[in-house]
Homo-oligomer: A and B are copies of this chain.
Amino acid sequence: MIPILSLNHRDARPLHQQVSQGLRQLIVKSALKPDDKLPGVRELASTLAINPNTIARAYRDLEAEGYVHSIAGKGTFVSPREDIGQQRREGLLSQWERVTAELLYLGAGVEELCEKVRAMPAAAQEGGVV
Contact = CB atoms under 8 A, between A and B. Distances in A.
Task: Give the secondary structure class of A's interface.
Answer: helix
B117 A110 contact: yes
A84 B104 CA distance: 13
Interface string A55-84: 000000001100001111100010101001
Contacts of A114: 113-114, 117-118
Interface residues of A, number: 54
Interface of A: 9-12, 14, 21, 24-25, 27-30, 63-64, 69-73, 77, 79, 81, 84-89, 92-93, 95-108, 110, 113-114, 116-118, 120-121, 124, 128
Given A11-B71, A104-B120, A113-B114, 8 more contacts: A10-B79, A84-B106, A85-B87, A87-B87, A96-B100, A96-B103, A97-B120, A100-B117
